[in-house]
């Protein structure tokens, strides 16, 4: 599989308006897709606690056949989309004939020694921290449905630390590929494959991504050159009005580490 292959070859039907999308476009969010498919947005209004639960592959196929469209010209900007990342995993599942659980276990968890990560909530129930909604009340865990690639992994700080440390190993060429700039947003930020790249005034680069659901918020920032990183997992809803403080905290810690590296260097 090549980055500039289209995902369309893995589907036995044409997409609406004969639209085609490459893996690169989906992984750097430059394809013009909305955040969620149109035939999911309406249903999500009535099931806000678990909006992805009933969105199965049949509904996703119907959307691709009949309704998929782009909101802005391809390549004109990068705008994050859960739909795009969900389509990446859907295409990989079709190509391999394997479940998402098997794919991430073989290609990520086993390779980087992530022994407490998975997509099956029942297998991590004994260590799973309860999610909290924007009002501070317990909220049920979401069921990812067909868009599982947009947020279907349960993990721990320890496991994600292993993933971050693996980024510092130059022999992991597949990880180095994800960190290469594929789109320029502005002078401060570029986009890799999944990663957002923060260009520091001192010439350093930070690779960052955050995420969240109705019950959790996350942020990871790594500095490959200086082998520094900050990882925050919180059971605070991404809909909380101070959700951005998770990232602010991470960036403040990274600045402290950067100053320490400069002083010791």
Give the DSSP letter of residue 22: B
Position 2 in a domain? no
Position 50 in a domain? yes
Position 171 in a domain? yes
- CB neighbour list of residue 126: distance below 8 Å, 6 or more residues apart: none
The total domain count for the chain is 1
The proportion of the chain whose per-residue pLDDT surpasses 70, expressed as a percent, equals 97
User: Mind listing the pLDDT tens digit for each residue in 58-76?
Assistant: 999 999 999 999 999 999 9
Position 177 in a domain? yes
What range defines the domain where residue 16 resides? Answer: 7-264
The beta strands (E) that lie in 138-237 are given as 183-184, 189-191, 196-199, 205-212, 217-223, 228-234
Position 118 in a domain? yes
Position 1 in a domain? no
Q: What is the mean pLDDT of the chain?
A: 93
265, pLDDT greater than 70: no
Longest dimension (CA), the chain: 58
CATH number at residue 206: 3.40.710.10
């Amino acid at each position: 599989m090549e980055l500039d292959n289209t995902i369309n070859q893995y589907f036995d039907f044409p997409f609406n308006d004969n639209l085609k999308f490459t893996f690169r476009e989906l992984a750097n969010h430059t394809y013009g897709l909305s955040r969620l498919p149109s035939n999911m947005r309406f249903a999500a209004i009535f099931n806000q606690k678990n909006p992805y639960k009933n969105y199965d592959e049949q509904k996703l196929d119907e959307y691709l056949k009949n309704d998929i469209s782009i909101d802005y010209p391809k390549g004109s900007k990068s705008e994050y989309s859960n739909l795009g990342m969900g389509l990446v995993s859907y295409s990989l599942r079709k190509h391999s004939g394997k479940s998402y659980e098997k794919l991430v276990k073989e290609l990520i968890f086993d390779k980087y020694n992530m022994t407490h990560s998975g997509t099956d909530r029942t297998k991590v129930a004994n260590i799973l921290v309860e999610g909290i909604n924007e009002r501070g009340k317990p909220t049920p865990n979401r069921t990812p449905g067909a868009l599982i690639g947009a947020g279907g992994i349960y993990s721990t700080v320890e496991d994600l630390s292993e993933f971050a440390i693996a980024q510092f190993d130059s022999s992991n060429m597949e990880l180095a590929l994800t960190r290469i700039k594929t789109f320029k947003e502005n002078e401060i930020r570029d986009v890799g494959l999944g990663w957002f790249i923060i260009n520091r005034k001192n010439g350093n680069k930070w690779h960052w991504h955050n995420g969240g659901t109705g019950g959790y918020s996350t942020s990871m920032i790594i500095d490959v050159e200086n082998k520094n990183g900050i990882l925050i997992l919180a059971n605070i809803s991404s809909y909380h009005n101070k959700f951005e403080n998770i990232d602010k905290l991470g960036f403040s810690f990274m600045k402290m580490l950067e100053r320490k590296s400069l002083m010791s260097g």
